[in-house]
Amino acid sequence: QVQLVESGGGLVQPGGSLRLSCVASGGIFGVYTMGWYRQAPGKQRELVATITVRGIINSEDSVKGRFTISRDNAKNTVYLQMNSLKPEDTAVYYCSAVRTDNRYNYWGQGTQVTVSS
């Protein structure tokens, strides 16, 4: 099975930046669509961005122009560069891996991102 290990979360002031990383192991990285989701207290888990094996990116409208998802297949790693952070970005951010046949889905443990003065 696939294991996903996230890092990079923390406390940052509004307008600041963070880069989240997610390292995958136990699977073939190149056959998984990778993504980032987030869940704030009292809200459903929502899409932030995904990136396919071929590099096709889908992202939520509220983060376009501020967040960038990327992947490094040689390092089995997906990143989320977050700039111009806002308090409403505060959430637990989860890394995901979905096999291209859509039959397997894995989640990381989540990393807390808090944007506050």
For 25-77, what is each residue's pLDDT tens digit?
988 888 899 999 999 999 999 999 999 999 999 999 999 999 999 999 999 99
Whole-number mean pLDDT of the chain?
A: 95
Which among 46, 70, 66 has a CA at the least distance from the CA of 56?
70
Q: Rounded to an integer, what distance in angstroms lies between the CA atom of residue 100 and that of residue 28?
A: 11
The pLDDT assigned to 71 comes to 95
Q: Rounded to an integer, what distance in angstroms lies between the CA atom of residue 60 and that of residue 114?
A: 19
**Structure token pair of residue 40:** 């704030």
The pLDDT assigned to 30 comes to 84
**Structure token pair of residue 104:** 């397997």
The pLDDT assigned to 102 comes to 86
Which among 81, 19, 28, 20 has a CA at the least distance from the CA of 53?
28
The pLDDT assigned to 116 comes to 97
105 touches 38 (CB < 8 A): no
Q: Rounded to an integer, what distance in angstroms lies between the CA atom of residue 116 and that of residue 88?
A: 9
The pLDDT assigned to 43 comes to 96
Q: Rounded to an integer, what distance in angstroms lies between the CA atom of residue 83 and that of residue 79?
A: 13
Range 91-113 average pLDDT: 95
Range 10-26 average pLDDT: 97
Within a 10 A sphere around the Cβ of 32, how many other Cβ atoms?
24
